[in-house]
């Protein structure tokens, strides 16, 4: 099953590492981007400040956002020497289907504001890279448009609304469109507090204030290639899966309007999960788990995977970093179902650390968004290629020829 790393990738038609290494011509904007930090900086220059901060920043004091990276940095890797790793492979199955590396694209709402129809560009990049793509409920591009993207594995992320029937209708749409798996996000019982969005005038529905208008005018490339295309075709980008008026109603302190559906999600319980389990026949995951007892309950309820996540530091500030609680959750789950992890993955070494501590795979949120913002599909693919190259190198250094070789001995977590 093992494929040599220098072989041609069935999905991209290129050597997996070669795109990142620059052997295939890259769009100019990507040429200098040698890692995810470079891509972030290029995205920062390209996007209006309000848009960039919406994608890049965390909540409140951003303690979780910072700690997500610091927690990865605290874990060290160990060389394993004199192991033949000349024929190594990152490929692995998840839910019985192949992934070219242990990574999937996380759901990221309004990705279509980074790039015109950004969600479709991400889906195409994921398909080419051989990894699953997750479409978020709050997306600018519809379930059906994503379903029409050729190839690839497509997952749908669900925010369960107070008016459950509307959510079930979305689940049905995702099923009818052929989406493979469903992720129920369970870590957002209240709107997160992100003060910069208010200052920058960045909100959904997209109603830019004077500051945001100046900001956009200062970024003519984005204005012409993203916003102007929406305006010419369908008007302001909007959350296509949300009933009209419902987004404004969810804002804190908003006056309830009886004619508009209530989409708040603060009364979600395990009973809802049971119901969803009955409705959704494919793989079902829950995202946002921090407690071993919740992971154990998820297994009992017949969930197919848990995702340990703090929403990339965007929701509960001071929430623990997923990598810090991963070992106890993985121990509780005991291999009965896969445990996935996201939040703060920026290097292939982070992926190997997560796998060594019990994850089956990780999700990437911002890295692919940065790439998307710089060069659409090619940029997202570049982000995936950079991570792929780094996973490959880290596997070689730690003496792992396959993903199943990655275990606790690859990491050092501090003196006991």
Ligand X SMILES: Cc1cc2nc3c(=O)[nH]c(=O)nc-3n(C[C@H](O)[C@H](O)[C@H](O)COP(=O)(O)O)c2cc1C
- Cite the active site residues: 311
Strands 92-94 and 76-77, by their bridges, are: unpaired
* 118 in contact with ligand X (CB under 6 A): no
* 194 in contact with ligand X (CB under 6 A): no
Q: Using the rule CB under 6 A, which residue among 309, 360, 373, 385 binds ligand X?
A: 309
Site size for ligand X (CB under 6 A): 22
Please report how the helices 49-56 and 366-397 are oriented relative to each other, as an axis angle in degrees rounded to 10: 50
First to last CA, the chain: 37
Compare residues 16 and 312 and give the one whose CB is closer to ligand X: 312
Compare residues 379 and 399 and give the one whose CB is closer to ligand X: 379
Q: Using the rule CB under 6 A, which residue among 15, 108, 200, 360 binds ligand X?
A: 108
Compare residues 111 and 375 and give the one whose CB is closer to ligand X: 111
Q: Using the rule CB under 6 A, which residue among 132, 344, 371, 379 binds ligand X?
A: 344
Q: Give the nearest distance from C-beta 293 to ligand X in angstroms.
A: 21
Measured at the alpha carbon of residue 167, what is the angle toward residues 336 and 193, in degrees to the nearest 5?
Answer: 85
The two three-digit tokens of residue 337, written as one number? 């179902």
* 371 in contact with ligand X (CB under 6 A): no
Q: Give the nearest distance from C-beta 375 to ligand X in angstroms.
A: 18
Q: Who's near 388: CB < 8 A, 6+ residues apart?
A: 16, 17, 20, 90, 100, 101, 129, 348
Task: State which of positions 45-74 bind ligand X (CB under 6 A).
Answer: 55, 68
Q: Give the nearest distance from C-beta 139 to ligand X in angstroms.
A: 8
Cα 233 to the center of its chain, rounded Å: 28
**Residue whose C-beta lies closest to ligand X:** 365
DSSP strand E in 265-313: where? Answer: 284-289, 305-308
Cα gap 41→370, rounded to integer Å: 8
CB–CB of 118/141 below 8 Å?
yes
CB–CB of 395/80 below 8 Å?
no
Compare residues 5 and 126 and give the one whose CB is closer to ligand X: 126
Cα gap 261→246, rounded to integer Å: 6
* 365 in contact with ligand X (CB under 6 A): yes
Q: Who's near 220: CB < 8 A, 6+ residues apart?
A: none
Instruction: Tell me the CA distances in angstroms from 323 to 162, 332, 356, one per residue in order.
Output: 31, 15, 11
Q: Which one of the spans 32-40, 100-108, 115-123, 222-230 is the region binding ligand X (CB under 6 A)?
A: 100-108
Binding-site string for ligand X from residue 145 to residue 164, where x marks contact by CB under 6 A and - marks none = ------------x-------
* 364 in contact with ligand X (CB under 6 A): yes
* 314 in contact with ligand X (CB under 6 A): yes
Q: Give the nearest distance from C-beta 30 to ligand X in angstroms.
A: 19
Q: Using the rule CB under 6 A, which residue among 121, 304, 342, 392 binds ligand X?
A: 342
CA atoms within 13 A of residue 303's CA, in its CB half-sphere: 29
Q: Using the rule CB under 6 A, which residue among 109, 112, 348, 358 binds ligand X?
A: 109
Instruction: Give residues in contact with ligand X (CB under 6 A).
Output: 55, 68, 106-109, 136, 138, 157, 185, 287, 309, 311-312, 314, 342-345, 364-366
């Amino acid at each position: 099953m093992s494929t040599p790393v220098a072989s041609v990738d069935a999905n991209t038609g290129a050597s997996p590492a070669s795109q990142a290494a620059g052997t295939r011509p890259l769009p100019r904007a990507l040429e200098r981007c040698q890692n995810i930090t470079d891509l972030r900086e290029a995205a920062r220059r390209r996007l209006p400040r309000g848009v960039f901060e919406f994608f890049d920043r965390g909540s409140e004091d951003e303690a979780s956002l910072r700690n997500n990276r610091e927690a990865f940095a605290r874990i060290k890797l160990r060389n394993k020497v004199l192991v033949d790793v000349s024929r190594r492979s990152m490929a692995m199955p998840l839910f019985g289907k192949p992934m070219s590396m242990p990574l999937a694209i996380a759901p990221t709402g309004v990705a279509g504001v980074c790039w015109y129809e950004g969600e479709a560009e991400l889906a195409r990049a994921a398909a080419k890279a051989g990894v699953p793509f997750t479409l978020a409920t709050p997306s600018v591009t519809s379930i059906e448009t994503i379903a029409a993207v050729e190839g690839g594995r497509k997952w749908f992320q669900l925010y369960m609304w107070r008016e459950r029937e509307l959510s079930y209708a979305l689940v049905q749409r995702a099923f009818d469109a052929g989406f493979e798996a469903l992720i129920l996000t369970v870590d957002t019982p209240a709107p997160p507090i992100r003060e910069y969005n208010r200052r920058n005038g960045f909100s959904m529905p997209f109603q830019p204030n004077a500051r945001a208008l100046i900001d956009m005018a200062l970024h003519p490339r984005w204005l012409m290639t993203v916003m102007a295309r929406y305006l010419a075709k369908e008007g302001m980008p909007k959350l296509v899966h949300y009933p009209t008026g419902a987004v404004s109603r969810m804002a804190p302190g908003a006056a309830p309007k009886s004619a508009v559906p209530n989409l708040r999600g603060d009364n979600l319980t395990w009973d809802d999960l049971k119901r969803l389990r009955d409705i959704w026949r494919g793989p079902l995951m829950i995202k946002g788990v921090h407690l071993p007892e919740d992971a154990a309950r998820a297994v009992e309820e017949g969930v197919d995977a848990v995702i340990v996540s703090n929403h990339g530091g965007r929701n509960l500030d001071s929430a623990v970093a997923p990598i810090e609680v991963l070992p106890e959750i993985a121990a509780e789950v005991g291999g009965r179902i896969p445990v996935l992890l996201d939040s703060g993955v920026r290097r292939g070494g982070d992926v190997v650390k997560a796998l060594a501590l019990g994850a089956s795979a990780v999700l990437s949120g911002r890295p692919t968004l940065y790439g998307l913002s710089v060069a659409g599909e090619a940029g997202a693919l570049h982000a995936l290629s950079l991570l792929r190259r780094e996973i490959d190198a880290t596997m070689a250094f730690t003496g792992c020829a396959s993903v199943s070789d990655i275990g606790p001995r690859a990491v050092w977590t501090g003196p006991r």
